[in-house]
Structure 1
Amino acid sequence: MITHQHPLFLKSQTTWIFRLTVIAALFLIATTTFAQVSLPKVFSDHMVLQRNTLIPVWGKGKPGTQVTVMLAGNKASAFAGKDERWMIRLPQLKAGGPYRLEIFESNNSKPVIKFEDVLIGDVYLASGQSNMELQVQQAMNADEEISNAQFPNIRLFKVEHNKTITPQEEIKGGQWQRCDSTSIKDFSAIGYYFARELHKELGIPIGILQSTWGGTPVEAWTSREILLSSHISRTKVLSNDTITPQHFVNDSLDLIRFWEIVYNPQNQSDQIYPDPDFDDSQWTEIQMPQTLKNMSIPDYEGMVWLRKEVNIPKDMKGRDLTLNLGHPELNYTLYFNGEEICKTIWNAEPEHIYSIPDSIIKAGPNNLTLRMAFLWGGGGFNPPAKEMYISDGEKKISVTGTWKYQKDLEPEIPFINNYHQYHSFLYNAMIAPVVPYGINGFIWYQGENNVDNAYNYRKLFPLLINDWRIRWQQGYLPFMYVQLANYMKRDSVPMESNWALLRESQTETLKLPNTGMACIIDIGDANNIHPLNKQEVGRRLSLIAKKMIYQEKIQASGPIFKNFEVENNQIKIRFSEVGSGLSVQNGEVLKGFSIAGKDKKFHWAKASIKGNQVVVTAKEVPEPVVVRYGWANNPECNLINKEGLPAVPFRTDNWNATEK
């Protein structure tokens, strides 16, 4: 609709628009002139500041500007330097609050910045890759845990993902939040359960500053300067000097296309290949269940279509059926007789069970089709075969055996450089900007992405620990970390293992002062690199904190190898951290030990507990030389102390372990 207005009204309207524009401009000038001071994003409402230490508060301001900070009756001032930076350290405070943190500039009597609901307590930086990043809503007992997550004095800060070529002064995003059923959902499960254990026992505010990114090596979190100091990492660091911000842009565009293909069928493939009448006679046959590493398409990345004919007997018609797919790859779409049953995105649930409506089921041949993303060495179905079937509640029809597959039916997915895995790029963007925020220590879970270079981890990991301690300038800040869990198919005979080698490197890191390691060799998952029992992981980390930091007289570790001696055909092993004594989990036969003679051939050993020693023998090894325990990707080992904490895997030899 077109309307006409009186000329005088238009003139009046123009005048008011002009006046409002002038007022807005003056307000903008006044604001710009007035607000000369800024603080980094790690400061916000609801934050926790570290108790019993000088509290660092820093930011930027116009050179020469006097900055005054007030908190809980304490006041301190500093001047912004020529580089615009200023730093103030407030006096130590005991746990408490809530308080208001106020920032004043020059002689202004009113604060230019203020933060409300500030608590004083203990703050921990939680970092690492996907097992530390795994969210409460993805972990065990998620619904119950989320509904019960009402802890207003636990505060959570999640640093937004970012990667940069040089160290930054500011993170990309994030803010402190109170712990409740909304904020906790996508927060680190381990970080939360660790905080909850401490908060319940200590009764003080706990802050968790989460800076995590899945699928990342330890080098990504370490500064360039420290990595250049080691010949192991120096060459790789220097080779990255040709990377520019434009490389990040190009990679981001490729990444968008990458996920567009993964999540959305291309070339009308979802209309063609799920059709029961589609002719798949030229497709390749393959036996299922098995994974990409065992299939005839190793190292392939992209979309793969899989089909299988399933015969349903007449007596199973007339009711909905249940399809159990066992443990397929995480991203897939399932079709039954051409009808889409589900579309999963990162489905890490232990069970993949679906209802197939009777309306689409036929007596006789039926078609089962999957569109599956084969990414990063994953793809196919993990054993066991017994979990792949169709059932009416009484009868089961196996869907294992012969399947047909075809790749390259959709566009090739772009190659992604994954710059978040590059040396120092995460340190630059996600660690450097939060230094020197006051903390009480670190918790860390990482190592899966260093398994291929497991021996060198014993040098690379300490580099990171020393690096961070130097940056924070708080002495030997407590560094608590998780040893890799058991994972993958269990071996029937003793053999070499990069996972075991990396665990050994993690144990070696205990030589650094003020470090503690939570062993979780008993709670992993053969079929899931992300074991879901994060409650116990958080609890075991909290035991270390309670003993190392809060000086509680508790047992915080399982038995750790101390020494051994050979006596005739026996090896006698002694341990530290035996607690109330050695024991066997669930009262079973002691397992997990192997011994070898000079021929370096290992055999499973019979083991028994004698006081605080374990004695091992093997009839195949009359003259044993060395012993190993839990030395496998997924070892069957059950030595514990009477406090229920598992013995740390170890070996007494150094065979087949060299620096790369």
Structure 2
Amino acid sequence: MTVTVRIKLRAAITILVLCLFYQSHGQITLPKVFGEGMVLQRDMKIPVWGNSASGALITAELGGVQITTQADEQGKWRVDFPEFKAGGPYTLKLYEKGKPNQSIELTNILIGDVWLASGQSNMEWQVQQAMDASNEIAKADYPDIRFLIVEHDMKLAPLEDISSGYWKICDTASVRRLSAVAYYFARKIHREQNVPIGIIQSAWGGTPVESWTSRAMLLSSPITRQRVQANDTLTYNHLVTDSLHAVRFWEIVFNPQNNTDKTVPLSEYDDSTWKEIEMPGVFRDFGMGSYEGMVWLRKKVMLPKAFSGKDLTINLGRPEMNYSLYFNGTEICKNIWNANPTHDYTIPADLVESGENTISIRMALLWGGGGLNPPAEKIYITDSSSIISLAGTWLYKEGLEPAIPEIQNYHYYPELLFNAMINPLIPYGIKGFLWYQGEANVEQAYNYRKLFPMLINDWRKQWEQGDTPFLYVQLANFHNAKPLPMESDWAELREAQTLTLLQPNAGMACIIDIGEANDIHPKNKQEVGRRLALIANKLVYKQNVIASGPQYKSFKIEEDRVRISFTSIGSGLSTKGGKEISGFAIAGEDKQFYWAKAEIDGGEVVVYSDKVKSPKSVRYAWADNPECNLINSEGLPAVPFRTDDWKGITQK
């Protein structure tokens, strides 16, 4: 080929590429929040927006309504359809005048109620990870429930579109990945309101409220101004590098390295130099609180001859969330993020040997966690008639696999998730917000009094729908119960959440009774979704229902006793299980709290203690994991509270 020919060929290719570029650049596009099978919000104007060639005339059609608008100089356009009643299916058509071949047509669209579900891992926790997963998945046939899961993304500046995600119809295949809380909420509302329900899920585990708040709002507060300005030193390469480190991080966590899975679990493997550790227990109690990485555990267990030839069951109690179990060198399970909530497994009979057998566990120690959590009777092997405990001395070894890379976790940084996972959704029409978050802000619980309302006001301002309903979940009970009353940052975070009820059109679901001491992700997401739906029924759908447990109203000191009044008592107060009231503590001027006796007197509770003659304050369920049982006639738990405003441990 001659030089002249090559030059002409390159010129022709360049012209073709430019033509294709300008042609595609001028085509109508929609952000990914719009798609086949989506749900659009009823009873309010329906915004639809996108991009096209500058100045193009765009016609949009929905349900017989046709609107034409002109794109601005940047090619941006928007139309607002009039209010529609619930129903469907509809087809959305978009086309540019003079370019009939450049059009978009989205079908199977329903009109109903759309809820944006956001927060951290307890909102993200999937149906397949929650309680009774297999049964719930098998029943999940709700074609009028649709959802879109916004994939994780973080950006230094607001985006116009999400990185990925598309609408799915709720069925036994798709529901597995959906937020369990959002699903059980949607299912109850759909059944009772008989309208299509759309869920837009935009959540990311471990993230603080500041990550989900816009830069402008964060700059308005002295609490967050300096931290958000620190983002100005970040570059795109910082985020890319951290993402690459995160990929390697989870590659190591999920996949054994250095061929360890083929050697370490073998019975003949030499573990003579390994260190000892008592199980059940957690590694942080053995001086490994700051260690992050992979650890191997091994234990030799003697099995009687009666166990031979039988399938056995092994139960690990409540181990760290990411682990693999091996028996005599064979992998029994690979558990990722507690996919199996019961942690009991079958050991096939052909692996069982009379006498000595070897149990091996590969476990990820992350964020100060790791181990087989108590109680001791929860870890054992059984043939259904006899039980052999696995409690006692185990051997462990770290460093058998590569160190996991350090991650900066930029998705924890202020505004970065708002930019990538919330801003692109605005101004999609919604009925309200669902929020489950706060664990990542526990150490700054006092500041959460300002930070959480900031987010609510920010989102409402961004959506321009007025005081859009904002329903949220108060943190559940967590950690081991304490024998004496004491200060608690978890209690202070819950108090900040309760104070947020002062915001207009806000509702809170209290779940202080369904948490789990050793699991920050309580499995009973059905009840969480139900309680959120109760709040929606009362606040949003204006039903005459009791939607909350008793809430503190006022107190009155009567000599050595304190009388507490409540709202939301229904037809009366009672206790769960009919037992004596637990959870109250009382203090005098010295601020020393003692467990108190409490008696129900009509719609009030009288609190007292022989150790406090001149009471000044009463607290209820004021602990990380309080033992509390006050409920109303609907069986809903009393919301934790205190009557004092004494300085807490998170108030700097």
Q: TM-score range by the shorter chain?
A: over 0.9
1:620 correspondence with 2:597: no
CA distance in 1, matches of 2:520, 2:45: 40
Out of 140, 144, 161, the position equivalent to 2:135 is 144
CA distance in 2, matches of 1:244, 1:442: 31
For residue 386 of structure 2, what is the aligned residue in structure 1?
Answer: 395
Deviation sequence 1:245-300 (CA, Å, 0-9, x none): 11122122222222232223333333443343444343322221112332221111
Deviation at 1:642, TM superposition (A): 0.2
Deviation at 1:592, TM superposition (A): 0.7
What secondary structure sits across from 2:224 in the alignment?
helix
1:493 correspondence with 2:484: yes
For residue 3 of structure 1, what is the aligned residue in structure 2?
Answer: none
Matches within 5 A, 1:53-92: 53-92=44-83
For residue 446 of structure 2, what is the aligned residue in structure 1?
Answer: 455
Out of 250, 264, 287, the position equivalent to 1:259 is 250
Deviation at 1:398, TM superposition (A): 1.4
CA distance in 1, matches of 2:21, 2:349: 71
What secondary structure sits across from 1:565 in the alignment?
strand
For residue 538 of structure 1, what is the aligned residue in structure 2?
Answer: 529
Out of 511, 517, 520, the position equivalent to 2:502 is 511
Deviation sequence 1:97-135 (CA, Å, 0-9, x none): 211111132355677112112222111111111111111
Out of 517, 521, 537, the position equivalent to 2:512 is 521
1:381 correspondence with 2:372: yes
CA contact (8 A) 1:310 1:368 kept: yes
Deviation at 1:136, TM superposition (A): 1.5
CA contact (8 A) 2:130 2:341 kept: no
Moved more, 413-422 or 357-366: 357-366
CA contact (8 A) 2:162 2:421 kept: yes
1:218 correspondence with 2:209: yes
For residue 603 of structure 1, what is the aligned residue in structure 2?
Answer: 594
CA contact (8 A) 2:44 2:84 kept: yes
What secondary structure sits across from 2:345 in the alignment?
strand
1:242 correspondence with 2:233: yes
CA distance in 2, matches of 1:244, 1:408: 33
Relative to structure 1, the CA distance from residue 103 to residue 395 in structure 2 (aligned partners, 3 Å threshold; closer, same or farther) is same
For residue 3 of structure 2, what is the aligned residue in structure 1?
Answer: none
CA distance in 2, matches of 1:364, 1:150: 49
User: 1:392 corresponds to which letter in structure 2?
Assistant: D
For residue 13 of structure 1, what is the aligned residue in structure 2?
Answer: none
Deviation at 1:336, TM superposition (A): 2.8
Out of 29, 42, 56, the position equivalent to 1:51 is 42
Deviation at 1:228, TM superposition (A): 1.1
Relative to structure 1, the CA distance from residue 558 to residue 406 in structure 2 (aligned partners, 3 Å threshold; closer, same or farther) is same
CA contact (8 A) 2:28 2:102 kept: no
CA distance in 1, matches of 2:385, 2:139: 38
CA distance in 2, matches of 1:304, 1:121: 49
For residue 346 of structure 1, what is the aligned residue in structure 2?
Answer: 337
Out of 287, 291, 298, the position equivalent to 1:307 is 298
Out of 397, 402, 418, the position equivalent to 1:411 is 402
Give the structure-2-normalised TM-score: 0.94
Deviation at 1:346, TM superposition (A): 2.1
For residue 432 of structure 2, what is the aligned residue in structure 1?
Answer: 441
User: 2:568 corresponds to which letter in structure 1?
Assistant: E
1:482 correspondence with 2:473: yes
Gaps of 5+ in 1: 1-17
CA distance in 1, matches of 2:22, 2:219: 44
For residue 651 of structure 2, what is the aligned residue in structure 1?
Answer: 659
For residue 183 of structure 2, what is the aligned residue in structure 1?
Answer: 192
1:465 correspondence with 2:460: no
Give the structure-1-normalised TM-score: 0.92
1:639 correspondence with 2:630: yes
CA distance in 2, matches of 1:176, 1:317: 51
Deviation at 1:315, TM superposition (A): 4.4
Relative to structure 1, the CA distance from residue 510 to residue 428 in structure 2 (aligned partners, 3 Å threshold; closer, same or farther) is same
Deviation at 1:340, TM superposition (A): 3.1
For residue 554 of structure 2, what is the aligned residue in structure 1?
Answer: 563
CA distance in 2, matches of 1:94, 1:641: 37
Deviation sequence 1:321-361 (CA, Å, 0-9, x none): 32221111122222333333333222253422233345444
What secondary structure sits across from 2:223 in the alignment?
helix
CA distance in 2, matches of 1:359, 1:174: 45
For residue 133 of structure 1, what is the aligned residue in structure 2?
Answer: 124
Q: How many residue pairs were aligned?
A: 640
CA distance in 2, matches of 1:33, 1:125: 32
CA distance in 2, matches of 1:198, 1:321: 43
Percent of aligned pairs sharing the same letter: 56
For residue 577 of structure 1, what is the aligned residue in structure 2?
Answer: 568
User: 1:475 corresponds to which letter in structure 2?
Assistant: G
1:202 correspondence with 2:177: no
Q: CA RMSD in A?
A: 2.3
CA contact (8 A) 1:36 1:65 kept: no
Relative to structure 1, the CA distance from residue 339 to residue 110 in structure 2 (aligned partners, 3 Å threshold; closer, same or farther) is closer
CA distance in 1, matches of 2:41, 2:310: 61
CA contact (8 A) 2:129 2:341 kept: no
What secondary structure sits across from 1:474 in the alignment?
coil
CA distance in 2, matches of 1:183, 1:100: 23
CA distance in 2, matches of 1:548, 1:85: 36
CA contact (8 A) 1:579 1:643 kept: yes
CA contact (8 A) 1:306 1:404 kept: yes
Deviation at 1:28, TM superposition (A): 7.8
For residue 7 of structure 1, what is the aligned residue in structure 2?
Answer: none
CA distance in 2, matches of 1:196, 1:361: 45
